Amino acid sequence: MQKENKIIKTIFFTGFCLALLCIFSVAPLYAKNEKPAKTAKTVSGVKEYGAYIKLKKGYVRILPNIVFDENGVFFVESNNPAHYFLKDVEYLVLYGQYDMSVLTVNPMGFYQPSSLGKPRFAFGKAIDLDVKQQGKDMYIIKPKGLFGRGYYSIWINDTAWDFILD
């Protein structure tokens, strides 16, 4: 009786292993025949809503930051903003549905460290801008003057995209 149980367990285990082997070896055959999904059409190389910098080599997305309000002072906490060479920057791009009447591009100035020691930067005086709509949800943003080296942000409502020009 024990010998029969041992044989039954061995046959069951072997069958189970063979079934798993078949399942896992057939799946890659089906995946090989699948075509990758087409990506959504882009507007001039811009794929997702947000802010971009147009460099000579193409568009680069800028990561957003949160705007804080402390006793009427608006600031961002520095979160390792992206660095770009001033000579490579052509213009800024905003892609999405935003209230363009509150758009500003501001230089950033050191405000104070946070309680954890992270530097906080307050928004400086807004830079005069030329904003041209390009398509449905894309806006080309160029300063009326020249950019200089420094820490800047594109600010709309509670979101700021900050970057540094070297």
Residue by residue, pLDDT tens for the chain (166 residues) are: 677 777 877 776 676 666 656 566 655 554 444 443 333 334 466 879 999 999 999 999 999 999 999 999 999 998 889 999 999 999 999 999 999 999 999 999 999 999 899 999 999 999 999 999 998 899 999 999 988 999 999 999 889 999 999 9
Check if the beta carbon of residue 57 is closer than 8 Å to that of residue 64.
no
Element (H, E) at 10: helix 2-33
Residues 94, 95, 97, CA angle at the centre, nearest 5°?
105
The amino acid sitting at 158 is D
**Helix (H), strand (E) at residue 110:** strand 104-113
From 163, 166, 129, 150, select the one nearest 51 (Cα to Cα). 163
Sign of the dihedral through C-alpha 34, 36, 41, 47: positive
Residue 42 to residue 130: CA distance in whole angstroms = 23
* 123/139 Cα distance (integer angstroms): 22
Is the overall model pTM greater than 0.85, yes or no? no
Which residues lie closer than 8 Å to 4 by C-beta, 6 or more apart? none
DSSP string across 11-46: HHHHHHHHHHHHHHHHHHHHHHHPPPPPPPP-BTTB
